[in-house]
């Protein structure tokens, strides 16, 4: 699998027979192989995860499919794009939390998408495709903000652990998980729990707001996870995962 880091939580993953684009909001999308179906995922509608430019990909790659979290209002979107001459309707799947959906791609391969409930907005995605399992957390994280009540923190941690519990049965090949330096003293909590709960071969930290030093700090604190983490250091970075 070839991975390109676009920006923030935006990644492109090129598999043997399909391409997956996650949470694009800015950065340069490389030229994609036209012989592979493209599936575009949006975990929720927040500005740092969603940019309507993604719908223009449909003119370049006609079979593109969009998998959108339910908080993106689809009807209005379809009408808007229709006014621009883009017929989106049949290309969109709108998914709520805790669903499992089979998505046949135009090259007759099958993608299975399972959604988890985010602790912020929208969903996280678990993809099963040709013997590979991928996970993109969106904003599913342990959000522990200074100044919030102890009760809020406890609820947050309980909800987060409940979602991670659902991942236990999977052997994940590649995961994208938030590591947000704004959480300061609690920045590592969500990532650490993810690594503890799941059996994941390769984890890519994201949602770092350009502050890539947080990965190094995490590894200094938890050196046992170094071999499982990819160090993102610049937009446009490419790497390969088996």
Among 46-54, 73-81, 105-113, 167-175, the segment contacting Zn ion (CB under 5 A):
46-54
Nearer to Zn ion, 139 or 163 (CB): 139
Site track 70-109 with Zn ion (rule: CB under 5 A), x = hit: ----------------------------------------
Strands (E), the chain: 2-7, 10-14, 19-22, 38-42, 65-69, 92-95, 100-104, 110-117, 123-129, 132-136, 171-178, 199-206, 238-240
Cβ atoms of 148 and 187 closer than 8 Å: no
CA dist 44 and 55 (Å) reads: 15
Site for Zn ion in 104-143 (CB under 5 A): 139
Of the pair 58, 116, the CB lying nearest Zn ion is at: 116
CB closer to Zn ion out of 2 and 117: 117
Which residue, 37 or 138, is less far from Zn ion as judged by CB? 138
Least Å distance between CB 51 and Zn ion? 13
What is the CB neighbour count within 10 angstroms for residue 13? 24
Task: Quickly tell me which residue has 């391409």 as its tokens.
Answer: 19
Nearest distance, CB of residue 160 and Zn ion, angstroms: 15
* Nearest-angstrom CA–CA distance, 186 and 184: 5
Phi then psi for residue 145, to 5 deg, are: -95, 135
- 173 or 189: CB nearest Zn ion: 189
**DSSP H stretches of helix in the chain:** 57-60, 74-83, 150-165, 189-197, 213-221
Task: Report the distance separating Cα 106 and Cα 93, nearest Å.
Answer: 15
Q: Supply the minimum distance, in Å, between the C-beta of residue 145 and Zn ion.
A: 13
Judged by CB under 5 A, the chain residues 205 through 224 that form the site for Zn ion are none
- Least Cβ distance, residue 105 to Zn ion (angstroms): 28
CB of 46 to Zn ion, least distance (A): 5
Give me the 140-179 binding string for Zn ion, x by CB under 5 A, dash otherwise: ----------------------------------------
- Token digits for 67? 């998998």
What is the closest distance, in whole angstroms, from the C-beta atom of residue 109 to Zn ion in the complex? 30
Closer to Zn ion by Cβ: residue 146 or 169: 146
Smaller CB separation from Zn ion, 48 or 235: 48
In the list 2, 17, 32, 48, the residue contacting Zn ion (rule: CB under 5 A) is 48
Bridge partners for 113 per DSSP: 101, 127
| Site size for Zn ion (CB under 5 A) | 2
| Inter-residue contact 127 to 38 (CB < 8 Å) | no
Contact (CB, 8 A) for 33 and 19: yes
- Which parts of this chain interact with Zn ion (CB under 5 A)? 48, 139
């Amino acid at each position: 699998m070839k991975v390109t880091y676009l920006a923030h939580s935006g990644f492109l993953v090129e598999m043997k027979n399909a391409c997956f684009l996650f949470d694009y909001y800015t950065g340069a999308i490389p030229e994609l192989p036209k012989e592979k179906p493209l599936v575009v995922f949006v975990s929720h509608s927040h500005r740092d995860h969603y940019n309507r430019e993604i719908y223009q990909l449909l003119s370049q790659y006609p079979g593109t499919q969009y998998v959108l979290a339910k908080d993106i209002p689809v009807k209005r979107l379809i009408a808007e794009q229709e006014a621009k001459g883009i017929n989106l309707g049949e290309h969109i799947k709108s998914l709520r939390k805790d669903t499992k959906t089979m998505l046949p791609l135009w090259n007759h391969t099958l993608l299975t998408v399972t959604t988890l409930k985010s602790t912020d907005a929208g969903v996280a995605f678990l993809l099963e495709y040709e013997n590979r399992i991928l996970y993109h957390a969106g904003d599913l994280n342990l959000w522990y903000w200074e100044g919030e009540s102890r009760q809020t923190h406890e609820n947050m941690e309980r909800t987060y652990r409940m979602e991670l519990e659902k991942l236990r049965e999977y052997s994940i090949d590649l995961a994208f998980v938030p590591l947000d330096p704004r959480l300061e003293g609690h920045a590592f909590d969500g990532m650490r729990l993810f690594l503890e709960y799941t059996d994941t071969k390769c984890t890519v930290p994201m949602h770092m707001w350009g502050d890539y030093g947080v990965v190094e700090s995490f590894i200094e604190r938890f050196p046992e996870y170094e071999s499982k983490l990819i160090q993102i250091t610049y937009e446009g970075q490419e790497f390969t995962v088996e």
